[in-house]
Structure 1
Amino acid sequence: MEFTAAQIASFINGKIIGDENASINGVSPIENAEKGQLSFVSQEKFADYIFSSDASVIIVSEKFVKEGNYKSTLILVEDAYLSFQVLMNLYQQMREEKKSGIEQPSTISDSAILGENVYVGAHTYISEKVKIGKSTQIYPQVYIGKNVKIGENCTIYSGARVYDFCVIGDNCIIHSNTVIGSDGFGFQPTNDGYQKIPQLGNVVLENNVEIGSNCSIDRGTIGSTIIGEGTKIDNLIQIAHNVKIGKNNVIAAQAGIAGSTVIGDWNMIGGQTGIVGHIKIGNQVRIQAQSGVNANVNDGETLYGSPAISAGDYRRNYVHFRNLTEIVKRISELEKKSKEGTND
């Protein structure tokens, strides 16, 4: 698809400097953009590219524009990054054609209820008493267990599995090979080994949740494992039984959250973070990558390390750790001098 600078500016309420008929047919990072491409500048460290880039059109935050001659056509906006996101969303909507109807072969129970304009891809299995809201897209080779409820405008990509009795809200996205509602890791030790504890609960995804690929979210032993509205979960993440995650959290890849932990709202959890079970994490907490959290966390804290402590304390302590060999050597020399002085 090809667009002119004037068309792009109309989508984001931008002001044009240069040729409003300049056309683009692709996008690129500003560092290597070429003629015919669109890029953007939203950070000061990239501001010099406004003068040197070969991009045909550049979306620029107004504060970075100075007097001078520009090779490219500029579109001035308040926040170039947000404006570029708006354009990318529009482009995605144009590029991705919504499907509807049922592809064959697929298996759908007679007791399942499908809303208007639902798409079911080939080789998908939908069990009894499933309810699926209108305009939801279920791609090929998906398994939907019995009594599952799925809201409107959801997208479930190929290979995902949703076990019995789970509930998915509106506008949710589940990427390939993720499992929603697998058994929690519940076993009782006995003289004969480990006795499996039945996992009778479910998983609830509230509205506007996105789950990356290859994640496992376990059902509650009793009750629900809950992922709150607007939360975004990266790839390769394990969430154990009866975990409750609040609204608008972001959790990066390879994090693991043990059972019955409660997490508040608007938290940022870095990649490879490990969180023990049965603790509470407040709101607006930042946990740096590879941290290990083993105690309750108050609102607004920033943690780092394993076991995780205040990020500021960790960084200060780490400076000493890097110099530990030299520090030990100096202490040893001081002790030696102190003993020599005592002997004298």
Structure 2
Amino acid sequence: MIVTAAHIAELIGGTVEGDPTLKITGPAKIEEGFDGAISFLSNPKYEHFIYTTKASAVLVSKDFIPSHAVNCTLIKVNNVYESLGILLGHFSGDGNTESGISSLAFVHEKAELGNEVTIGNFSHVSAGVKIGDHTVIAEQVFLGKNVTIGQNCIIYPGVKIYHGCVVGNDCVIHANSVLGSDGFGFSPKEDGTYSKLPQIGNVVLEDHVEIGACTVIDRATMGSTVIEKGVKLDNLIQIAHNVRVGKNTVIAAQTGVAGSTSVGENSIIGGQVGIVGHLKLADRLMIQAKSGVSGNISEPGKKLYGYPAIDYQKYLKSYAYFKNLDQIVDKIRSLEKEVDKLKQNNNTNF
């Protein structure tokens, strides 16, 4: 694909500073640019690359002012990352499954398929499944009975969606993720063994949700485990039964959310965070990586860190003390000796 800088600017709502007729052949990292490439600059730490890059054009913020001359054409935009997303989508090749329904796929006669649905080799579509228009089901996907998938979704290879689960419109589920496996529900018995509690609920993904690879979302014991509109989950995440993740929340890899916890809207949760069950977390939280959340958080917008998670600034202050703990202990011991001497002197005087 070859396009001009002017065409790209029109596509992303930017303005060209330089040659609008410049021919662009594809995107590249700013430090790995080449003739015909378009790159981007959003982090000031990378600004020095813009003066040496071999890329022909670079996306920059509308407020960017070079400190000295640049050799590339600049395309100025309001939001570099948002514009980059549009640009990458424009240049991305079609790596999806070949369109149409593979002769090697199994589609039950009672399944309902929308217009221009794609189903790849060795995928299994059970009875009662409903798939919306323009949705792509890649290879080796299993869809259990009465699963519903909306329009314009991409379900990557190896995904398993158990019976009765619901996926909204414009969702993406990456390879080998599982929706609707049983929640971790077991009742202890007097003899020390456990009896399994049947998990009869389902999982609901609302619109515009993206699930990373090898993530597991358990079905509810009763009712639904709900991932609300616009949520983005990274790879290797565990969402337990009856959890609700609020809209537009993002969660990084290796995080686990225990059963019946409600995570607020527009929150950012780092990697390897552990959240215990039956909690209610406020909106707009920022939970730093490896934190452990063990209690309700009622104040919106808080920034938390540590195990157990506390206010971010308090954590940093506490950690500063911890780093100097040996010196603090030495000082305390020294003071104790001084106090003992004073006591001895006082006893002698009396």
- What range describes the TM-score normalised by the shorter chain of this pair? over 0.9
Hey, what does 2:155 align to over in structure 1? 156
Measure, in 2, the Cα distance between the counterparts of 1:68 and 1:284: 39
TM-score using structure 2 length: 0.93
Cα distance change, pair 79–260 in 1 and its aligned pair in 2 (3 A): closer
Hey, what does 1:335 align to over in structure 2? 336
Letter in 2 for 1:315: L
Hey, what does 2:136 align to over in structure 1? 137
8 A Cα contact 1:100 1:135, kept in partner = no
8 A Cα contact 1:188 1:197, kept in partner = yes
Measure, in 2, the Cα distance between the counterparts of 1:62 and 1:209: 30
8 A Cα contact 2:97 2:119, kept in partner = no
Measure, in 1, the Cα distance between the counterparts of 2:80 and 2:231: 25
Letter in 2 for 1:212: G
Measure, in 1, the Cα distance between the counterparts of 2:41 and 2:303: 29
8 A Cα contact 2:26 2:91, kept in partner = no
Measure, in 2, the Cα distance between the counterparts of 1:255 and 1:158: 23
Hey, what does 1:315 align to over in structure 2? 316
8 A Cα contact 1:107 1:123, kept in partner = yes
Hey, what does 1:165 align to over in structure 2? 164
Letter in 1 for 2:185: G
Hey, what does 1:77 align to over in structure 2? 77
Hey, what does 2:266 align to over in structure 1? 266
Report deviation, 1:82: 2.8
Measure, in 1, the Cα distance between the counterparts of 2:68 and 2:267: 43
Hey, what does 1:100 align to over in structure 2? 99
Measure, in 1, the Cα distance between the counterparts of 2:320 and 2:49: 36
Hey, what does 1:187 align to over in structure 2? 186
Hey, what does 1:303 align to over in structure 2? 304
Report deviation, 1:192: 5.7
Measure, in 1, the Cα distance between the counterparts of 2:233 and 2:81: 22
Measure, in 1, the Cα distance between the counterparts of 2:81 and 2:168: 29
User: SS state of the match for residue 109, structure 2?
Assistant: coil
User: SS state of the match for residue 188, structure 1?
Assistant: strand
TM-score using structure 1 length: 0.95
Cα distance change, pair 154–250 in 1 and its aligned pair in 2 (3 A): same
Hey, what does 2:232 align to over in structure 1? 232
Identity %: 47
Aligned structure 1 segments of 4 or more residues deviating by more than 6 angstroms: none
Hey, what does 2:124 align to over in structure 1? 125
Letter in 1 for 2:335: L
Measure, in 2, the Cα distance between the counterparts of 1:43 and 1:199: 46
5+ unaligned residues in a row in structure 1: which ranges?
Answer: none
User: SS state of the match for residue 6, structure 2?
Assistant: helix
Q: Count residues in correspondence.
A: 343
User: SS state of the match for residue 181, structure 1?
Assistant: strand
Considering only aligned residues, what root-mean-square deviation do their CA atoms show, in Å?
A: 1.7
Letter in 1 for 2:313: G
How big is each residue's C-alpha offset from its partner over 1:284-340, in whole Å with a ceiling of 9 and x where there is no partner?
Answer: 111110000000012111110001111110011000001111110111111011101
Alignment of 1:243-262 (within 5 A): 243-262=243-262
How big is each residue's C-alpha offset from its partner over 1:131-187, in whole Å with a ceiling of 9 and x where there is no partner?
Answer: 111111000100000011111111110000000111111111111100100000111
Measure, in 2, the Cα distance between the counterparts of 1:67 and 1:275: 46
